[in-house]
Chain A
Amino acid sequence: AQSVTQPDIHITVSEGASLELRCNYSYGATPYLFWYVQSPGQGLQLLLKYFSGDTLVQGIKGFEAEFKRSQSSFNLRKPSVHWSDAAEYFCAVGGFTGGGNKLTFGTGTQLKVEL
């Protein structure tokens, strides 16, 4: 069965500081990996995704993530956080099986940005 662990429930960083959100996954084959962001009262927006190829992927809003197969990790990073980055972040894993691509999500990390 596929699963995702986000070990940090809450993270607080100062504006301008760097950020790393952790994600570990379990999946029986080559995974598709995603990071989504959710602002309060909103749906989820895709930040970035990894299917294959270069293990360092760039996303929107200056975010990047690195796929490390040996560590089963897909950590999200940003070199300098802005106050508008405060939101909840979800890591997800899936694959193309049975004609579709259902995703399993982690429990999320709530990011607070101190001014």
Chain B
Amino acid sequence: DAEITQSPRHKITETGRQVTLACHQTWNHNNMFWYRQDLGHGLRLIHYSYGVQDTNKGEVSDGYSVSRSNTEDLPLTLESAASSQTSVYFCASSGAGANTGELFFGEGSRLTVL
């Protein structure tokens, strides 16, 4: 079965370190997204991609970057981790074309920045 997997599921790091969260999907979806989930804020969009070599900033993109070198993967990098980036991160994907729109979510990566 097609799926979307995130790794690591849990990570603890220190302030100032670079961190990369992996996201891999086997749906062959063009669209991929990174959200962060925080209490009281719901899910907020960090970055998204509508295809290979395409990346776009979401509403909370400062301090994060992504790259899309193939269809399956959209790694999220925290250039210099800060305590404010302690959160649960969700990767999602969706198919192209109108009347799709449903996002398929990974199980999340819990990041703690000390």
Contact = CB atoms under 8 A, between A and B. Distances in A.
Interface in A36-67: 41-46, 49, 51
Contact of A102 (B41, B45, B51, B98): B45
Interface residues of B, number: 29
Contact of B101 (A32, A44, A90, A108): A32
A5 to B, nearest CB: 11
B90 A44 contact: yes
Interface string B79-114: 000000000001010101111111101111000000
Contacts of A108: 42
Given A51-B101, A94-B101, A107-B40, A102 B90 contact: no
Contacts of B106: 43
Interface string A90-110: 100010101111111111100
B31 interface: yes
Chain A interface size, as a band, is 20 to 34
Contact of A101 (B31, B42, B43, B108): B31
B30 interface: yes
Contacts of B107: 41-43
A44 B42 CA distance: 12
A74 interface: no
22 contacts: A34-B101, A41-B107, A41-B108, A43-B107, A43-B108, A44-B92, A44-B103, A51-B101, A90-B42, A94-B101, A96-B99, A96-B101, A100-B31, A100-B48, A101-B100, A101-B101, A103-B101, A104-B45, A105-B42, A106-B42, A107-B42, A108-B42
Given A43-B106, A44-B90, 7 more contacts: A32-B101, A96-B101, A100-B96, A101-B100, A101-B101, A105-B42, A108-B42
Interface of B: 30-31, 33, 35, 40-45, 48, 50-51, 58, 90, 92, 94, 96-103, 105-108
